[in-house]
Chain A
Amino acid sequence: MSPTSATRRASAPAAPEHLRALARRASRRRRGARWVGLLWVLPALVMYGGFVLYPLTQTVRYSFYDWNGIGTAAWVGIRNYDTVFNDAQLYGSVLHAFQLVIFFSFIPVALGLLIGALLRGLKEGRFTTVSRTVLFLPQIIPLVGAAIAWRWLYAQDGLVNGTLSWVGLDLLTRGWLGDFGTALPAVGLIGCWVATGFCTVLMLSGIARIDPTLYEAAQLDGAGPVAEFFAVTLPNLRHEITVALTVTTIAALASFDIVYVATQGGPGYSTMVPGVQVVRLAFTENNVGLASALAVVLLLLVYVVALPIQLLNRRPR
């Protein structure tokens, strides 16, 4: 027996004991560290709690009071909600928001799909890069800028009427945003302009990920462009479509910037949407309670509409 093996054997039983102690200490420390670990989340939670969750609870609280923002508030129960659902101006604004969904969401997604499918054959190159840049521009400039540009297009002497007169359709010219019949669709088209490029680029990036052999198979089966679209493109873009629908629908329901700058909700209340109405009620009419009730309804509306679209996405692909 050599001395080295003797020392080895002698120290051998000690090592596990030593290691066990180390492990015990480490696990105790780790358990402590697990709670200390919450410190990582704390700063974000403080800001989120202080400037999102707390105000949200206050909105709910205000909505049960009659308060002008300065004096004392009087508890009125659900009277403000009663008003929201029975006052034509208020529930009308909600209906307008739903009409805007068609323009902000449905049309851009449909156009994006159509153009995306048409462009599938186009090779990546400078032209497609430039086109993507241009189509994305409306996403980059502030919505206020979009609204200013379109106000001018729609003006009495703007480009739209100018073009109509030029082709001999003087009869159709009007102040598009000032006309009760056309103001809401006109506002909707602004949102359509903003969202279409985004939807198109989103669909294009989705189509680029579809396995090309699927298209080859469809062509071998004799599928024309239309059959190909419904058999291959559409089912494979489900994720992109739900994403585009969610983002643009929320933007439509909670729209503020475009309407505020383009029409302020006018003429009359023909383009009034919940977002603008909330700000107007709270800060112009000093009816904080009613404004808060409408804000709560808007919040619920967004969640009731957005969550089902998300569930559609969660199903396995």
Chain B
Amino acid sequence: MITSRARRANSTLMLLMMMALTIVPLVSMFVTALHAPGSRPSGLAWPEDLHWGNFPLAWDQANVEVLLKSSALIILGVVPVSLMICTMAGFGLGHLKLPGGGALYVLILLGLAIPFESTVIPLYYQMQSLDLLNTRLAIVLPLIGLYVPFGVFWMRGHFANMPQALTDAARVDGAGGWRLFWHVHLPLAMPALTTLGLLQFINAWNQFLLAVVLVDDPTKRTMAGALGAFQGERSTDIVLLCAGALLIMTPTVIVFLILQRYFVRALLAGAVKG
């Protein structure tokens, strides 16, 4: 009994240490963000006055409001469309017996591990010829395509597990094709869809490579892309950089804290299934 209690105490201590190591970089940023603007504090120094005003200042300088809108527009362009097409494909491949479905599925699965770097160069010239460079569509369209392998894989997994009897019953009632999908299967797919939507939201929000290569204007980028640009402009003013970076990261963290149970489940499930 004593050993198990000692073991539990050790485990708790270990976990506390891990947690500390995890948040130290963020706390260091936060403390730095409270120093006098323009100063160059040392990493260990506690600010003499707490300059909370740095946050509104950084809000304006980093253009956070505009960035939020831009990221939201990109998410709105990517996630609903992606969910729709991946669900349809997942339904077709997982529940209907399609001719050549197996081969199509393998073709899609092969895309699961494609690094974005391997497609970004032609994407640049493709967007150039479509006259879409430096617009949000240059990020939206490729992301929809790049999310197809995982999205279809995910939704197919869901539909493959739905009982065939459900479809048969609906067919007897006269529901075919689209109605079967829309009224019978889609409502039942909601949990799988929510998880996929969350994963895509966080991935799109944090997408950096496409934003950096395809869009010059930070106000038309994703949050992560804009953060990169802000870091480039502000690398000398560490106080405002820290304040701005924290502000830019805050929305995701807030969403995460509210929906954390779903997030942890989604990220774990996404990884395990993937």
Contacts and interface: CB of A to CB of B under 8 A. Distances in A.
Interface of A: 33-35, 37-41, 43-45, 47-56, 58-59, 62, 69, 115, 118-122, 127-128, 131-146, 148-150, 152-153, 155, 157-163, 166, 193, 196-198, 200-202, 205, 225, 239-240, 243-244, 246-247, 250, 253-254, 256-257, 260-261, 274-275, 278-279, 282-283, 288, 291-292, 295-296, 298-299, 302-303, 306
A127 B228 contact: no
B223 interface: yes
B124 A283 contact: yes
A136 B267 contact: yes
14 contacts: A33-B177, A39-B92, A41-B92, A52-B114, A62-B122, A115-B15, A122-B12, A143-B224, A144-B228, A148-B231, A148-B242, A157-B40, A201-B264, A298-B117
B85 A132 contact: no
B218 to A, nearest CB: 12
A40 B92 contact: yes
B66 interface: no
B43 A162 contact: yes
A119 B19 CA distance: 13
Contact of A59 (B7, B108, B119, B227): B119
Given A51-B145, A149-B25, A260-B228, A56 B114 contact: yes
Given A43-B88, A138-B22, A142-B252, 6 more contacts: A34-B99, A127-B15, A134-B19, A193-B25, A196-B18, A254-B115
A198 B271 CA distance: 10
Contacts of A243: 271-272, 274
Contact of A298 (B111, B118, B142, B206): B118
A291 B18 contact: no
B205 interface: yes
B232 to A, nearest CB: 9
Q: Which of B21, B43, B242 has the most CB of A within 10 A?
A: B43
Interface in B168-225: 177, 181, 202, 205-206, 208-209, 212-213, 223-224
Contact of A37 (B32, B98, B145, B242): B98
Interface string B242-263: 1001001100110011001001
A155 B43 contact: yes
A202 B181 CA distance: 34
Q: Is the interface of B mostly helix, strand, loop or mixed?
A: helix
A291 B148 contact: no
A239 B238 CA distance: 43
B61 interface: no
Q: Which of A40, A158, A159, A198 has the most CB of B within 10 A?
A: A40
B97 A34 contact: yes
B75 interface: no
Contact of A306 (B108, B113, B119): B113
B23 interface: yes
B18 A142 contact: no
A119 B14 contact: yes
Contacts of B149: 48, 52
Q: Which 8 A-B pairs have the closest CB atoms?
A: A51-B145, A40-B92, A159-B43, A58-B122, A254-B115, A142-B224, A162-B44, A44-B89
Interface in B114-134: 114-126
A49 B148 CA distance: 10
Given A52-B148, A138-B22, A247-B274, A299 B253 contact: no
Contacts of B21: 193
Given A137-B26, A253-B115, A35 B227 contact: no
Contacts of B93: 40-41
A150 to B, nearest CB: 6
Contacts of B141: 47, 50-51
Contacts of B19: 131, 134-135
Contacts of B88: 40-41, 43-44
B115 A279 contact: no
B74 interface: no
A278 B121 contact: yes
B243 to A, nearest CB: 12
B161 interface: no
Contact of B22 (A50, A137, A302): A137
B115 A145 contact: no
A275 B115 contact: yes
B228 A279 contact: no
A175 to B, nearest CB: 12
Contacts of B151: 44
B64 interface: no
Contacts of A250: 113, 115
Contacts of A205: 268
Given A37-B98, A239-B272, A198 B122 contact: no
